Amino acid sequence: MVLLHSCDNPPCCNPKHLSAGTHGDNMADKVAKGRQLKGSQFSSAKLTEADVLSIRRRPYYRQADLAREYGVHPSIISEIQGGKRWKHVKKGGEK
């Protein structure tokens, strides 16, 4: 079990703002509150949102060729085109 902070202020120790939960509860809370990093927000990201849109606009190119162009593994290209990665990037460019 971990302590969850309903006020999102880590130094806070007001018992009314604390509750017990699992690591999964804590991760779900992070996502629900929009504190989960996405896409190019990660320092290790090799692609940008613009790259992802470009990849999705080119479905008939060989995945190996696109992977070489963007410096990623072909499986990454496949998962981007299949909608399994970078889900937050929509076709029209809105996030």
pLDDT in tens, 47-80: 999 999 999 999 999 999 999 999 999 999 999 9
13 in Cβ contact with 19 (< 8 Å): no
Q: What is the pLDDT of residue 92?
A: 60
Q: What is the pLDDT of residue 95?
A: 52
Helix (H, G, I), strand (E, B) or coil at 3: strand
pTM: 0.66
* Residue 34 pLDDT grade (very low, low, confident, very high; cuts 50, 70, 90): confident
19: phi then psi, degrees, rounded to nearest 5: -150, 155
- Dihedral of alpha carbons 16, 20, 21, 23, sign: positive
